[in-house]
Amino acid sequence: VEQYSTVRALREAVQSARRAGKAVGFVPTMGYLHAGHLALCAAARRENEFVVTSIFVNPLQFAPNEDFDRYPRDLVRDLGMLQTAGVDAVFTPSVTEMYPEATQTVVSVPALSQTLEGKTRPTHFQGVATVVLKLLQIVRPDTVYFGQKDGQQVAVVRRLVRDLSVPVTVRVVPTVREPDGLALSSRNVYLEGADRIRARRLSQSLSQARSLLEAGERSGPTVQAELERLLTEDPDIRLDYAAVVNADTLVPLSHIAGPTMLAVAAYVGPARLLDNLMLDVSERAVRDLLPPL
Ligand code: PAF
């Protein structure tokens, strides 16, 4: 894998791939890679002749009180994993390469950004939307890959791509889980001992909520209350939210139908964890919204 740390060098590499007629797939990341990122790289590898990954811990999406400084980083390990994954180019800009001056221009998708995560992280998605558009302008891929785990981020990115007519296809790849169900996240390194075991409860609650839907329940408030009850059964889990929303608009559903996201966020020890299920719900059936890989 070739490493490029300037916008100019990365653009030249992508341009020469493009001149050779190669389709370009792009996987934006903040590094500290795990099997979830590798699933995105594998999808990109299958569907494109030239695969670019970026590793950039984007300060714009962290609030001053958040974990920007202690966000886990291990570039040497990441490069080894990308090499094994068959990625062609990795873009590793510094903060000053990406933001030589404090950025004036920002991208915001207000309705999708203020709900769920936005209640505790009011500036987060503006930072995500801004860096994603900027990375898409730098790389200019045909297809960009995101993980389902950050479900609200998926909704925000899809909307910004539609609203601003960005010429890219957005592909969403199902969440990769530990054997006990815990969704993979770089922040899982903050979990130790009893907290790691406790963290299972997020995915377990979501599975139980799915079973309720499969048994015919279609009331959003009922499913939400059940998620809240299951999560707070453990007094050492501090629930932030449990929500039953339309997967595209993130509007809460009173009657569950169509593209649905069951989303939970909770503090387990020092970690704030997220998980979700994306389902396609009809009167008679409950299916996964995303095709399996
Ligand atoms: O999902 C992430 O890792 C980040 O939010 C992203 C998309 C790389 C933007 O910084």
Task: Give me ligand 1 centre to Cα 45, in Å.
Answer: 19
Question: Atom 9 of ligand 1 has which residue's CA nearest to it?
Answer: 128
Q: How confident is the model at residue 234 (pLDDT cuts 50, 70, 90)?
A: very high
Percent of the chain clearing pLDDT 90 (strictly above) = 98
Cα 86 to ligand 1 centre (Å): 21
pLDDT tens figures, 11-28 = 999 999 999 999 999 999
Local confidence band at 291 (pLDDT 50, 70, 90 cut-offs): confident
Contact 43, 292 (CB under 8 A): no
Which pLDDT belongs to residue 270?
Answer: 92
Token representation of residue 168: 């890219």
Is residue 154 within 6 Å of ligand 1 at its C-beta?
Answer: no
Confidence of residue 293 (pLDDT cuts 50, 70, 90): confident
Residue 10 to residue 88: CA distance in whole angstroms: 11
Give the model's pLDDT for residue 279: 98
Spatial separation of the C-alpha atoms in residues 288 and 281, rounded to whole Å: 9
- Say whether pLDDT at 228 is over 80: yes
User: What pTM value is reported for the model?
Assistant: 0.97
**Which is more confident, 10 or 293?**
10
Ligand 1 site, residue 128, Cβ cutoff 6 A: yes
202 CA to centre of ligand 1 in angstroms: 22
Q: How far is CA 112 from CA 34, 53, 155, 212, 232, in A?
A: 27, 26, 7, 27, 26
Q: How far apart are CA 211 and CA 217, in angstroms?
A: 9
DSSP 101: S
Compute the mean pLDDT over every residue in the chain, rounded to the nearest whole number: 97
Say yes or no: CB of residue 39 within 6 Å of ligand 1: no
- pLDDT, residue 267, reads 96
Q: Which residue's CA is the closest to the ligand 1 atom numbered 3?
A: 29
Spatial distance between the Cα atoms of 106 and 125, rounded to a whole number of angstroms:
10
pLDDT grade, residue 131 (50/70/90)? very high
Query: Alpha-carbon Rg of the chain, whole angstroms?
Result: 19
